[in-house]
Structure 1
């Protein structure tokens, strides 16, 4: 219980909490960013393959 109290009330605990929140936020951002670009690139490759067959 004392560790949780230190985590939420001391300067080093709050800095740790901010660091953890930042890292988790960046992880979510990069996951969404990479998945979006993977999807867009695969759709573009699919369109290019279909245009190559149609021409």
Structure 2
């Protein structure tokens, strides 16, 4: 736990890297959910 607190609040590089990781995960979840939504809501091709 001390490692994560030092990584988050110890310097700006650790905080920015954590933010980048969470932003990338958020984008992947959003686009994955959007893809599944579009596939399920699209009309049948024939």
Q: Fold match, TM over 0.5? A: yes
Greater length-normalized contact order (CA 8 Å, ≥ 6 residues apart): 2
Where structure 2 has 5 or more consecutive residues not aligned to the other structure, the ranges are none
Paired residues, what number?
45
What is the RMSD computed on CA atoms of the aligned residues? 1.7
Match of 1:15 in 2: 16
Residue ranges of structure 1 left out of the alignment (5+ in a row):
50-55
Deviation readout 1:15-55 (Å, 9 max, x if unpaired)? 001101100100110110000001112xx11xx64xxxxxx
Flag the structure with larger Rg: 1
Given the two structures, how large is their TM-score scaled by the length of structure 1? Answer: 0.65
Larger relative helix fraction: 1
